[in-house]
Amino acid sequence: MEAVPIVLDANGQQLSPTTAEKARKLIAQGKAALVSEEPFTIQLPYSVELPPRPREVEREKVGQGKRLLLHICCGPCSTYPIERLRGEGFQVTGFWYNPNIHPWQEHQRRRESVQKYAEAVGLPVIWHEKYEMPLYLRAVVGHERFGERCRICYRMRLEKTAQVAAEGGFDAFTTTLLISPHQNQALIRQVGEEVAEEWGGGALEFYFENFRRGWSERGRLTHEHDLYRQQYCGCIYSEWERYNEGHIDGLLLVDSLPIGQVKP
Ligand code: SF4
């Protein structure tokens, strides 16, 4: 059986192959010229404009022309999302608001590492200057169990982000919490979409993306920029859980000692 012939247009551009039988027929009809027998190659007398190959088509970027406010929980977790969001065309501004972080010195260390990285990559940041830890503690009283308190914690931070985004005329907001495998991504998304609706009324988008795929890049950038790595999620309960076995609910503090009934 004859080899599959190569078909060229008038400019020498390679086209889709044809069968040897059809190629011979085109030559016989004067509709193509024989270029070589080995390899069997024919050339058409006209040029063909081919559609660009899929990989050459510039993919439309989801963030093109959009301003996005990025809630940042810590320096390491900000690394990949900033890079990724910029790559997607977003004009990114950082936002710092983490009243859950305990104690104040830990809060400051994380804040400083965000500042350090933001300066290194030229990221503008809106800083919520107050340390509102008492608001967080008040909000989770009676809901200290892991997961239950996290929902409240996500809401506090994302609600503030949505508010600042709406007031600042941003198109979208999101959070670096979405990179952590220790966080509940589905719950963050749900809360994010709820507060987007509440504050933006359809004009503000909670941008969800699974940033976890950038976890190793996060590690590389954290190392490269020598950023502070925290040892626990943030709140006083997560600190306890980090250094003790199991979750804080194991203590049953909340159930056994209702508010106002603490024995002297
Ligand atoms: S464990 Fe983390 S997400 Fe959950 S409440 Fe504490 S700081 Fe917030």
Q: How far is the CA of 182 from the centre of ligand 1 (A)?
A: 10
- pLDDT, mean of residues 100-127: 98
For residues 169 and 206, membership in a common domain is answered with yes
pTM listed for this prediction:
0.77
230 lines ligand 1 (CB under 6 A): no
Domain span at 82: 67-247
For residues 34 and 105, membership in a common domain is answered with no
Number of domains making up the chain? 2
Closest ligand 1 atom number to CA of residue 101: 7
5 lines ligand 1 (CB under 6 A): no
- Give me the percent of the chain exceeding a pLDDT of 70: 91
Nearest CA among 135, 137, 144 for reference residue 252:
144
For residues 221 and 110, membership in a common domain is answered with yes
Q: How far is the CA of 32 from the centre of ligand 1 (A)?
A: 72
For residues 140 and 220, membership in a common domain is answered with yes
SS3 per-residue string spanning 41-108: EEECCCCCCCCCCHHHCCCCCCCCCCEEEEEECCHHHHHHHHHHHHHCCCEEEEEECCCCCCCHHHHH
**What is the per-residue pLDDT across 125-138, written as a single tens digit (0 to 9) for each?**
999 999 999 999 99
Nearest CA to ligand 1 atom 1: 238
150 lines ligand 1 (CB under 6 A): yes
Judge whether residue 264 has pLDDT over 50.
no
Nearest CA to ligand 1 atom 6: 235
Spell out a b/e string for 203-233, using b for 16 or more CB atoms within 10 Å of the CB, else e.
ebbbbbbebeebeeebeebbeeeebbebebb
- pLDDT, mean of residues 188-212: 97
**What is the per-residue pLDDT across 211-262, written as a single tens digit (0 to 9) for each?**
999 999 999 999 999 999 999 999 999 999 999 877 777 665 545 555 555 4
Query: Is 252 contained in some domain?
Result: no
Q: How far is the CA of 232 from the centre of ligand 1 (A)?
A: 9
For residues 128 and 201, membership in a common domain is answered with yes
> For the domain that residue 229 is a member of, what is the CATH number?
3.40.50.620
153 lines ligand 1 (CB under 6 A): yes
For residues 166 and 76, membership in a common domain is answered with yes
Q: Which residues, including other chains, have CB under 8 Å from residue 93's CB and lie 6 or more apart?
A: 67, 68, 69, 70, 123, 124, 125, 126, 168, 170
Nearest CA to ligand 1 atom 2: 233
For residues 152 and 210, membership in a common domain is answered with yes
For residues 23 and 154, membership in a common domain is answered with no
Distance of CA 72 to the CA centre of its chain: 12
Position 262 scores a pLDDT of 47
238 lines ligand 1 (CB under 6 A): yes
Nearest CA to ligand 1 atom 4: 150
Q: What's the whole-number average pLDDT of the chain?
A: 91
For residues 157 and 233, membership in a common domain is answered with yes
Query: Is 77 contained in some domain?
Result: yes
Report the alpha-carbon distance of residue 175 to residue 161 in Å, rounded: 9
**What is the per-residue pLDDT across 52-66, written as a single tens digit (0 to 9) for each?**
766 656 778 999 999
Judge whether residue 206 has pLDDT over 60.
yes
